[in-house]
Amino acid sequence: MDTGVITSYIPIFAKAFLLTLKIGWIGVALAFVTGIAGAFTLYFKIPLLSAAVKCYVELFRNTPLLVQLFFIYYGLPVLGFKISAEVCGAVGLGLLGGSYMTESIRSGLDAVPKIQMESAASLGLSRSQTFMSVILPQAFTISVPGLVANVIFLLKETSVFSAISLMDLMFTAKDLIGLYYNTTESLFLLVLFYIAMLLPVSFAGSVIEKKMRSKMFGGRDDGI
Amino acid sequence: MDEILKIEHLTKKYDDITVLNDISLTVKKGEVLVIVGPSGCGKSTLLRCINNLEDIQDGKVNIEGKTGMVFQSYELFPHMTVLQNLMLAPVKVQKRKKDEVKKEAEQLLERVGLSSKKDNYPAQLSGGQKQRVAIVRALIMHPEVLLFDEVTAALDPEMVREVLDVILDLAKQDKTMLIVTHEMAFARAIADRVIFLEGGSIIEDTTPAEFFDAPRSERAKSFLRTFEFEKVH
């Protein structure tokens, strides 16, 4: 491996890294918003909207992101909407992620035992108080591992952005390999930057999980 | 004494299955009513109907004031500390001042011997401790009627006593209580009145002495026999 090549490539990869990070996290944020809206719709069994959410989830969970991006990027202009590759990437990721987030949050909400609601009702809490103070915090804690896995999955999925000419990490690596044949160096940096992007997420995820879950499910502390 | 709870011709069905059949019952202020009967007889459902957790198909339930309920499985909120569990409803529902509620919560915890656990999470407590917290959580709302639904059934035997002692203490304070239990010795000690329920109907409604020593119905006799053992050797 040529360290000189690596050093000279770092600024190029760093630029692509920031772009990937930006669009990836905007996509994750959109996915959270969509997922929360979708899960609440399903949990409260809002008529018609629930059916729409179910269709949306199945449609986006069962098609590859690449295909979704092609539809948004090349399909929408046919209908008269033209959007940039960046917006397309973020929206595509948001829609794909939204379907996964919907399911993770909904399963978290469903996992809170019904008798917890009765316990809250016995204390006189209203339905909205029960949801906000009793159900939602527990559901969130239960959902954390799934949500973190989704975030990591979505950030990795950014690697298909190159297909819509977005100059992300993958695009940059392929481009440099095509131009200069420095395959080893390019792939090495590619792996390195992906790890730099995802390792903090994994780490933060396990810290949050540990903190929240040990509180709720932790074993009895006989020392106290 | 004043009537605090009046049930008239209560009928509860799940689809075609009748769980409670034409139950009529009045409870006076300060009375401790113990409800016993074989499992599936409808005793828990009766408490749930009184506490408005079930819709009823016929009849009326009238309560002068609020009810508080303690569940077999404690049902503390696992994401909150003991103190947060106790303060949630008084602050959110009754809009009482936090300081005042906190003070009362600490006093009540002291009375059940759990002062040191106020900042712990339920997962850090034993079953008996959780159930004592659950009782305090019901008490702090100042309910006129307390409902206990098999509150020791999920506990290890050595923890049953600490929970029952708390309830005995409440009886001494003249709280109105409806208690569903399988602890017959406890039932006898605490009850002012015993109701024997079977197949969704009240079979006996009498004093503890009469129920345990001289039950009138054959069904109550055979029910009580299930708690006796013959000497083997």
> Is B95 within 8 Å of chain A by CB?
no
Cβ distance B79 to A218 less than 8 Å, yes or no, reads no
End-to-end CA distance of chain A: 56
Cβ distance A122 to B124 less than 8 Å, yes or no, reads no
> Is A141 within 8 Å of chain B by CB?
yes
Residue B108 placed within a domain: no
Please give the tally of structural domains in chain B.
1
Categorize the per-residue pLDDT at A219 as very low, low, confident or very high, splitting at 50, 70 and 90: very low
Q: Give me the pLDDT at residue B1, please.
A: 59
Please tell me which of the candidates A124, A216, A219 has its beta carbon nearest to residue B141. A124
Mean pLDDT, residues A173-188: 92
Categorize the per-residue pLDDT at A223 as very low, low, confident or very high, splitting at 50, 70 and 90: very low
- Interface residue of A114, A115, A119, A127 to substitute, partner B, most B CBs within 10 Å: A119
Considering only CB atoms, which chain B residues are within 8 Å of A130? none
Residue B197 placed within a domain: yes
pLDDT in tens, A132-148: 999 999 999 999 999 99
Identify which of B56, B60, B48, B46 has the alpha carbon closest to the alpha carbon of residue B198: B46
Identify which of B198, B197, B200 has the alpha carbon closest to the alpha carbon of residue B19: B200
> CATH number of the domain that B169 lies in?
3.40.50.300
Mean pLDDT, residues B129-145: 96
Considering only CB atoms, which chain A residues are within 8 Å of B141? 123-124
Q: Give me the pLDDT at residue A218, please.
A: 64
Identify which of A49, A47, A26, A29 has the alpha carbon closest to the alpha carbon of residue A38: A49
Residue B179 placed within a domain: yes
Q: Give me the pLDDT at residue A224, please.
A: 36
| List of domains in chain A | 3-217 (1.10.3720.10)
Q: Which domain holds residue B21?
A: 3-77+144-225
Q: Give me the pLDDT at residue B8, please.
A: 95
Please tell me which of the candidates B51, B120, B137 has its beta carbon nearest to residue A224. B120
**Global ipTM:** 0.89
Is pLDDT of A214 > 80? no
Whole-number Å distance between alpha carbons of B54 and B124: 32
Query: How many cross-chain Cβ pairs, A to B, lie less than 8 Å apart?
Result: 74
> Is A124 within 8 Å of chain B by CB?
yes
Residue B87 placed within a domain: no
Residue B58 placed within a domain: yes
Residue B129 placed within a domain: no
Upper half-sphere CA count for residue B176 (Cβ side, 13 Å): 20
Is pLDDT of B98 > 80? yes
State pTM to two decimals. Answer: 0.87
Residue B138 placed within a domain: no
Residue B120 placed within a domain: no
Q: What percent of chain A is modeled with pLDDT above 70?
A: 97
**A residues 94-123 lying closer than 8 A (beta carbon) to B:** 115-116, 118-123
